[in-house]
Amino acid sequence: MGKVVVYYHKDSDTMDIWFGNPEDEVICEEAGEGIILKKDKNGKTIGIEKLYVSKTVGINQPLPVELVVA
């Protein structure tokens, strides 16, 4: 497996987890419970977006840092 990149977006309180090239995203599909699958033109899942990260982990305010892991 290649690298996995994680981005936390403080303003929107979302987290993107990419295991493919983000530029290849053409389709977003809601999977339920605040999870969105990011897919390429062939329908292959190349990333996941998690909505409402702070609420999910029980924090009353957005996380104080932006996280990028490569």
What angle is formed at CA 26 by the lines to CA 23 and CA 31, rounded to 5 degrees? 115
Give the DSSP letter string of 17-48: EESS-GGG--EEEEEETTEEEEE-TTS-EEEE
- pTM of the entire predicted model: 0.76
Q: State residue 9's pLDDT score.
A: 84
Weakest mean pLDDT among 4-8, 22-26, 64-68: 64-68
Model confidence over 24-53: pLDDT tens digits? Answer: 999 999 999 899 999 999 999 999 999 988
Domain boundaries along the sequence of the chain: 5-69
What sign does the dihedral 60-16-11-41 (CA atoms) show? negative
At which residue do the structure tokens 């990011």 appear? 38
